[in-house]
Chains A and B, each alone.
Chain A
């Protein structure tokens, strides 16, 4: 098995899908000969031609709108939005159109399509190259929202997303694009959407997280172990539809919960996890749920290391939960 970075695994998934299915197309800004600003689409135009991997005008609304049109007419578009921060001109197309199309047409028209976009901080990108906007999209019935945290998952989840009959927003943690390498199976395989992944076992406390926060949680859990706390780490992988049963099962088993994400706290994804536990598992809880998140501020540039949750903050939350 080849050893790949996360961004190489994305590239491998795109090539695998395009080799298998001629209806799969990749397009967006600078994804053609340049291969994308992060090189996720490197080599695709060369191998598949400019009819199947091509640059578009600089318009997110146009990219996603056109993807919907391709999807209803038999293609399997994989559109790239260069940074998730720039997706908002396409918000209408995603939320009002792609996500509602099956519903509003009684299934006559559907939009099996993937929108890939790098999200999150850690690259000194400031306000507009760092945001984590998953909560906006998780509030959208009809859409699926997927966030990988390892190269092997990135490939399997992306291939599953491309094969999925519904529109998928595929959020790639750009901080992890090149920071980790692992063996990634060759050829076609899928990782089921809507199923969480146990990353690390533990019996005292569980940290629910996703994307770039997964290695942060693991580091904090290792540090907690030295203090005598056995911390479980769960990678949610698919935020919508969420593996609710899995979340509740882990929460009930362990009884102490930390929720971790880099997006702002207020109405963030952690609020949903926290509310779900309050509604369905409160009697199993030994401590209140604690959230570790970005601050309710825009994303800062110079001080991003203070904004982004790190192992220090997660460990602090674990200790608070354990001390309750």
Chain B
């Protein structure tokens, strides 16, 4: 098979070719600012991790256009089944940065009550941003099930499920793609081909010519887009969403992009990513690409960037200040939310843990017996 040229919209001169996103100036600037907000969040998270204030983070640099372009094609009534490198989608739809920061600190205000590692977000408002798990690919069949419910109830919603190039080797990729096509449910599969699965390059992940081609065998359309071109991603996702909404079933979109940082703050990509590759992709920076588009439309200048960067930094700094001031979740949160009702054995184990903490003098304020 021949390599398909990825769909691109924003040309070298900044002009859009073959696609009008139909977005107002305000909406375009919201896309732009969200990318900068992701970057500000990343920078701050790295500093927090390096200084020992949080344990872990996942960098997004290089992937921002894919995240924001895809999110911009969804309605608030749609569902997002994200990977751990997707939080730009949540920011785009208005999840406050401070809610994410609560998760980064694992504090009492975190929606997951500090039970998960940082970056494993879960939100239900203002959009369903499904709880993230670490095992790879498990969320693909789950998105299909959620979409089955939409189809059964004849709702015009879609489920977008996002995963990396590594995710295509998982059990869930096969079952998710297969079930979605057989059931013809409204799912958009977004494969972020960012070059590496932790340290493993794409050519060690698959011998096929990219990932979009895999759609053919499942019986659904497959599209390759330039993942650093926000409008190209938006166009492909919008078309897939429109098809899904009218009952046309799923689409696989491969967004070719590049992870400009490590897999996580625990990873050193200089051990396995050639320097030249980083330099090559740095020239294709998705933020610069979108700036050229805004510039060609007369909506952008350096001053705007400086203003946005400053306001993003301020927003993230305020989020850190607020989140860091919130204490740990109380001890009882180890035992709650395992089941809807606390079963007797967990009640007993909880009481034993409180009792020991009390005896040893390391019970924190708020720790105590379960409410009856």
Chain A interface residues (CB < 8 Å from chain B): 25, 51, 56-57, 59, 61-62, 64-75, 77, 89, 92-93, 96-97, 100-110, 141-142, 144, 165-166, 194, 241-242, 244-245
- Do B340 and A65 have beta carbons less than 8 Å apart? no
Residue pair A69, B142 in contact (C-beta under 8 Å) = yes
- The interface of chain B, by Cβ under 8 A from chain A, is 79, 110-113, 115-116, 120, 122-124, 130-131, 133, 135, 138, 140-150, 152-153, 159, 171-172, 174-176, 178-179, 182, 337-340, 343-346
Q: Cβ of B133 and Cβ of A100 under 8 Å apart?
A: yes
Counting chain B CB atoms within 10 Å of each CB, which of A69, A108, A109 scores highest? A69
Contact call B141/A61, Cβ cutoff below 8 A: yes
Q: Is the CB of A65 within 8 A of B133?
A: no
CB-CB under 8 A for A108 and B146, given A57-B175, A59-B174, A103-B338: no
Q: Which of A25, A61, A241 interacts with B343 by CB under 8 Å?
A: A241
Cβ contact of B124, chosen from A59, A65, A75, A109, cutoff 8 A: A109
Residues B345 and A57 in contact, CB atoms below 8 Å apart: no
Residues A241 and B133 in contact, CB atoms below 8 Å apart = no
Given A105-B112, A105-B122, A57 and B338 touching (CB < 8 A)?
no
C-alpha spacing A96/B171, complex, angstroms: 14
A103–B142 touching, CB < 8 Å? no
Contacting A101 at CB < 8 Å: which of B131, B143, B179? B131
Tell me the bound Cα distance from A100 to B152 in angstroms: 26
For residue A25, which residues in chain B have a CB less than 8 angstroms away from its CB?
A: 152
In the bound complex, what is the Cα–Cα distance between A66 and B159 (angstroms)?
13
Chain A residues closer than 8 Å to B346, beta-carbon distance? 241
Interface centre among A61, A65, A77 (most CB of B within 10 A): A65
Known A93-B141, A108-B111, A166-B340; judge A62-B178 contact (CB<8 A).
Answer: yes
Task: Determine how close the nearest CB of chain A comes to the CB of B331; give it in whole angstroms.
Answer: 15
A245 touches B145 (CB 8 A): no
**CB-nearest residue of chain B to A27:** B148
CB closest residue in chain A, given B138: A97
Q: How far is the CA of A166 from the CA of B112 in the complex (A)?
A: 17
Closest 9 CB pairs of A and B: A69-B145, A65-B141, A62-B175, A66-B145, A241-B343, A105-B131, A73-B149, A69-B146, A105-B122
List the A side residues contacting B144 at CB < 8 Å: 62, 65-66, 69
Say how far A277's CB is from chain B's closest CB, in angstroms: 15
Q: Are B131 and A77 in contact (CB under 8 A)?
A: no
User: Across the interface, which residues of B come within 8 angstroms of A61, CB to CB?
Assistant: 141, 171-172, 175
* A65–B112 touching, CB < 8 Å: no
Bound state CA distance, A249 and B338, in angstroms? 26
Return A54 CB to nearest CB of chain B, in Å: 9
Contact check, A92 vs B135: say whether CB atoms are below 8 A apart. yes
Q: What's the Cα separation between A111 and B147 when bound, in Å?
A: 15
Asked if B148 contacts A142 (CB within 8 A), the reply is no
Q: A65-B138, A77-B145, A96-B138 are in contact. Are A104 and B175 (CB under 8 A)?
A: no
> A56 to B179, Cβ gap below 8 A?
yes
Chain B residue at minimal CB-CB distance from A56: B179
Q: Give the complex CA separation of A242 and B338 in angstroms.
A: 15
Chain B proximity of A255: nearest CB distance (Å): 23
With a cutoff of 8 Å between Cβ atoms, the chain A residues found around residue B146 in the complex are 69-70, 72-73
Q: Judging by beta carbons under 8 Å apart, are A108 and B179 in contact? A: no
Indicate if the CB atoms of B149 and A75 lie closer than 8 Å: yes
Complex: how many Å from CA A108 to CA B132? 12
Also in contact, A141 and B338, with CB within 8 A (given A59-B179, A96-B138, A109-B131): yes
Whether A245 pairs with B116 at a CB distance below 8 angstroms is: no
Chain B positions within 8 Å of A57 at CB level: 175, 178-179, 182
Inter-chain CA distance A105–B112, complex, in Å, is: 5
User: How far is B343's CA from A165's CA once the two chains are assembled, in angstroms?
Assistant: 13
Query: Is B130's CB under 8 angstroms from A109's CB?
Result: yes
